Amino acid sequence: MANEIHFRIRRQDGPDARPYWEEFKMPYAPAHNVVSALMYLREHPVNAAGKKVAPVVWDSNCMEEVCGACSMLINGTPRQACATLIDDLDQPIVLEPLTKFPAVRDLLVDRCKMFNALMKVKAWIPLDHTQDVHLHAPLIGPGEQAVRYIFSRCMTCGCCMEVCPQYHQDSEFVGPAPLGQANLHNSHPTGKFFKQDRLHALMGVGGIADCGNAQNCVQVCPKDIPLTDAIAELGRRTTGQWFRDLFAR
């Protein structure tokens, strides 16, 4: 570790440009995370060969592992850069962009596909008014809240999709996170009125049938969301919905 931090970063000047590796070295200081180190590098963008270059481009925002913006591959593992301490990493630290999303520049990728998937499964609760909590607003029991709260912490970071073998740039699979969100919103006392819409969205192309049960998603989720529990429940519910549809005709 000594007195410097050594990075090897996979860069790309634009979506159609060729990727290339660039190395950087910076002075060591304790308590750096990957983003704070990248911030140092953007102020001093001189690569390890001594050449001044354009600063590395990356995405970050909250710096507290709650927004999901700073997902990248760090020494091969997809994780949040802000929450990854330099002191915990083997050097040279290898930074790469997520591979399942179209490259934009350097470590920045286009994750619109994730948000489109959330729209496809209607991962929200349409409200036609607000209600004082004391005036018979819908209630959720504490046991249910404990389970659902974990799912509500999903920050659409894309790590689960990065490791899912069924998810790739040419597939229409919505991926693990939207499945979790569909199930969450189906469990909500008001959200459940739109249960059928969400289940139908998952019974078509790119839906639940695409899940191969690899279990990679639960291993990598930074919020420890039990995604495969939701996927299993959705498996039962979509089957039930299929029967209902059969007899509804």
DSSP calls for 74-115 = ETTEEEEGGG-BGGGS-SSEEEE--SSS-EEETTEE--HHHH
**Minimum distance, C-beta of residue 220 to other proteins, in the bound complex (Å):** 16
Task: Select the span of 3-11, 20-28, 91-99, 102-110 touching other proteins (CB under 8 A).
Answer: 102-110
* Candidate list 26, 74, 108, 109; residue touching other proteins; CB under 8 A: 108
When the beta carbons of 14 and 240 are compared against other proteins, the nearer one is 14
When the beta carbons of 107 and 217 are compared against other proteins, the nearer one is 107
- Decide: is 212 part of the binding site for other proteins (CB under 8 A): no
Query: Would you state the structure tokens that stand for residue 16, as one six-digit string?
Result: 């159609």
* Candidate list 2, 31, 139, 246; residue touching other proteins; CB under 8 A: 31
Size of residue set near other proteins by CB under 8 A? 33
CA atoms within 13 A on the CB side of 59: 20
Query: Binders of other proteins among 33-72, rule CB under 8 A?
Result: 33, 35-36, 39-40, 42-43, 45, 52-55, 57, 60-65, 67
* Candidate list 9, 72, 82, 202; residue touching other proteins; CB under 8 A: 82
Q: How many CB atoms lie within 10 A of CB 12?
A: 19
**Minimum distance, C-beta of residue 27 to other proteins, in the bound complex (Å):** 12
Task: Select the span of 89-97, 103-111, 202-210, 234-242 touching other proteins (CB under 8 A).
Answer: 103-111
- Decide: is 29 part of the binding site for other proteins (CB under 8 A): yes
Q: Is 153 within 8 Å of 225 (Cβ atoms)? A: yes
Q: How far apart are CA 65 and CA 75, in angstroms?
A: 18
Is 15 buried (19+), middle (13-18) or exposed (0-12) by CB count in 10 A? exposed
Task: Provide the 3-class DSSP secondary structure of residue 4.
Answer: strand
- Decide: is 205 part of the binding site for other proteins (CB under 8 A): no
> Which residues 6+ apart lie within 8 Å of 22 measured at CB?
8, 9, 11, 47, 53, 56
DSSP calls for 7-56 = EEEEE-SSTTSPPEEEEEEEE--TT-BHHHHHHHHHHS-B-TTS-B-PPP
Query: Binders of other proteins among 133-162, rule CB under 8 A?
Result: none
In the complex, which residues of this chain contact other proteins (CB under 8 A)?
13-14, 29, 31-33, 35-36, 39-40, 42-43, 45, 52-55, 57, 60-65, 67, 82-83, 85, 87-88, 104-105, 108
